[in-house]
Chains A and B, each alone.
Chain A
Amino acid sequence: MLEVVHLTKQYGPKLAVNGISFSVKKGEIVAFLGPNGAGKTTTMRMITGYLPPTAGEVRIEGIPIRQKPIEAKRRIGYLPELPPVYPEMTVEDYLHFVARLKQVPGREIKARVERACARCALADVRRRIIGRLSKGYRQRVGLAQAILHEPGLLILDEPTAGLDPRQSNETRELIRSLAGEHTVILSTHILSEAAQVCERVIIINRGELVAVDSPENLARRVKNTDTLLVEARGPAEAVARALGAVPGVAAVAPRAGGDGVAQFQVEAKGADVREALARAVVNGGWGLLELKPVELSLEEIFLNLTAAPAPAAAPGRP
């Protein structure tokens, strides 16, 4: 369905995307995961033909987008980071314009607009001016625009950015329902979102491909290092000493505290030390207020992944 071969983009001296290659099969949902500035948007812009790549090739259903842009673009639906809407138009006028632009045959336009509105829950706002819609609705108009001509390949750049949790969930549901009919590539910097929606995750960092794997495998690879947050009522130094003495604990770093409450970040190596930590605190006669795993930041996940398969290096936090 989609083949990306050695795609590279250079902005002046800055290498934004560096020789990325991957392919996506028909009907698959794939997530692009990466921190800010990783090159997700740049890669998507090259796939959609918006940006000419410095080097490399993109083929959609075997059609090279540089050589046959019109043919290839017919097969793509694209939701950019900012929904590409004209704020002065009504939702309906806008979607009609997009339908003509995407060369939907004249007699089918009405039905397609209807269908896209229904799928994106836009029926109530069809006659409203887009500029007066809330951000969430505008995002849905952007999504409707992308699926309007029922393209084989959907490219969605951060489709849930800026939505409230309920709307993000609805959008994820919608994207999942699109699978099968469409091949979907979406970008996100939330691992859990990628895990919810996608069968495969492509991780990029600093313009390079770091890993391609299923979300389950990634979660397992990332879980190698246990980082725990411990909060206890007691003298900070004594608690720290007791925690450090627990077998399997690699490091104890103090965090915000005060008011007789001490907080630590505990790095454990391999073994599950949660019970031992709890016992250490209680045996010391202090009160255990909280004990939970720390969510790794995306940067740390990348460090872990790039350091894999050796799970030794535990990234510490300042």
Chain B
Amino acid sequence: MSSLWTIVRKEWKLYFVTPAAYVVLALFAVIAGFFFYSMLAMYVMQSLGGGMFGQGSLDVNSQVLQPLFFDIGITLLFLLPMITMRTYSEELRSGTIELLKTSPVRRMEVVLGKFLATFGLLILLLIIAAGYVLIVVHYGKPDLGALWAAFLGLLLMGGSFLALGLLISSFTRNQIVAGVVTFALFLLLWVANWVTAYGSGTISGIFSYLSITSHFQNFTQGLIDVKDLIYYLSLIVGGLFLTARRMELAE
């Protein structure tokens, strides 16, 4: 158990002695800020216009926050590969993996330690996002329950990204390859439900189930469905388990 924290601390130390983590955090703040601003601007324009046509007030949740959560999701999709791509690849390239694998530490402790370290960064990112959301909470009257659900969704989706990124990184000593493949996989998972727009039946049902977005949708609407929880948790657990297996057999 203490080895787990040794790994987490080491990972965090490495994040913050290099500019990598700062760059990711700053990029996220800027991009999410831009999305937030544009959503808000659009909403304000529409509500002014709506007032003129006598439609009554618009819904902050569906007009501002739901799209904002999707945009934060997309930002994570771009940024998380930058966090996971080095986790194992760098250890494989530099040979430090030999230290980890010959120390009296269980494989799963290393994998879990690395995962928790990246998860910690994800939480930092979501705290930044929460800052923007709080502005809406202050001025508008959003449904707070839906907000919590949406953040839970972001955590789970981000966690799935991280677990998959970790797994991919364990397959190559080349960070760039790991990053590109991870990003491509995330993108595929993100758009998998697009095919459902043009078809129906089992195939599109499968794609829709695989799609990371269709499961995220419910969370942004304040719905926590066991089906979605199972989807994300199985991605996380499966990804971590396979990474541990991979480390056992590697080389």
Q: Are B94 and A84 in contact (CB under 8 A)?
A: yes
Q: Are B14 and A89 in contact (CB under 8 A)?
A: yes
Which residues of B have CB within 8 Å of A50?
Answer: 98, 101-102, 251
Q: Is A78 an interface residue (CB 8 A)?
A: yes
Q: Are B251 and A51 in contact (CB under 8 A)?
A: yes
Contact among B2, B6, B106 with A97 in the assembled complex (CB-CB below 8 Å): B6
Q: Are A88 and B17 in contact (CB under 8 A)?
A: yes
Nearest CB of B to A125, in Å: 17
Q: Are B95 and A80 in contact (CB under 8 A)?
A: yes
Which residues of B have CB within 8 Å of A86?
Answer: 10, 14, 94, 96
Q: Is B99 an interface residue (CB 8 A)?
A: yes
Q: Is B197 an interface residue (CB 8 A)?
A: no
Contact among B17, B18, B95, B99 with A101 in the assembled complex (CB-CB below 8 Å): B99
Q: Are B10 and A84 in contact (CB under 8 A)?
A: no
Q: Are B98 and A103 in contact (CB under 8 A)?
A: no
Cα distance A85–B96 in the bound complex, in angstroms = 6
Q: Is A70 an interface residue (CB 8 A)?
A: yes
Q: Closest A-chain residue to B99, C-beta based?
A: A84
Question: Provided the pairs A70-B104, A87-B94, A93-B13 are in contact, do residues A100 and B2 lie with their beta carbons within 8 angstroms?
Answer: yes
Cα distance A131–B248 in the bound complex, in angstroms = 28
Q: Is A82 an interface residue (CB 8 A)?
A: yes
Q: Are B96 and A84 in contact (CB under 8 A)?
A: yes
Which residues of A have CB within 8 Å of B102?
Answer: 48-50, 73, 76, 78
Interface string of A99-110 (1 = CB under 8 A from B): 011110000000
Q: Is B105 an interface residue (CB 8 A)?
A: yes
Q: Is A145 an interface residue (CB 8 A)?
A: yes
Q: Say whether chain B's binding surface is mostly helix, strand, loop, or mixed.
A: helix
Cα distance A215–B100 in the bound complex, in angstroms = 34
Question: Provided the pairs A48-B102, A103-B104 are in contact, do residues A89 and B17 lie with their beta carbons within 8 angstroms?
Answer: yes
Which residues of B have CB within 8 Å of A69?
Answer: 104
Q: Is A232 an interface residue (CB 8 A)?
A: no
Question: Provided the pairs A84-B95, A84-B96, A86-B96 are in contact, do residues A101 and B14 lie with their beta carbons within 8 angstroms?
Answer: no
Q: Are B95 and A81 in contact (CB under 8 A)?
A: yes
Which residues of B have CB within 8 Å of A51?
Answer: 251
Nearest CB of B to A129, in Å: 8
Interface string of B1-29 (1 = CB under 8 A from A): 01100110110011001100000000000
Task: Provide a sorted-by-A list of 23 A–B residue pairs whose CB atoms are within 8 angstroms.
Answer: A48-B98, A48-B102, A49-B102, A52-B248, A52-B249, A69-B104, A70-B104, A73-B103, A76-B102, A78-B98, A82-B94, A84-B95, A84-B96, A85-B94, A87-B94, A89-B14, A93-B13, A97-B13, A98-B103, A100-B3, A102-B104, A103-B3, A103-B104
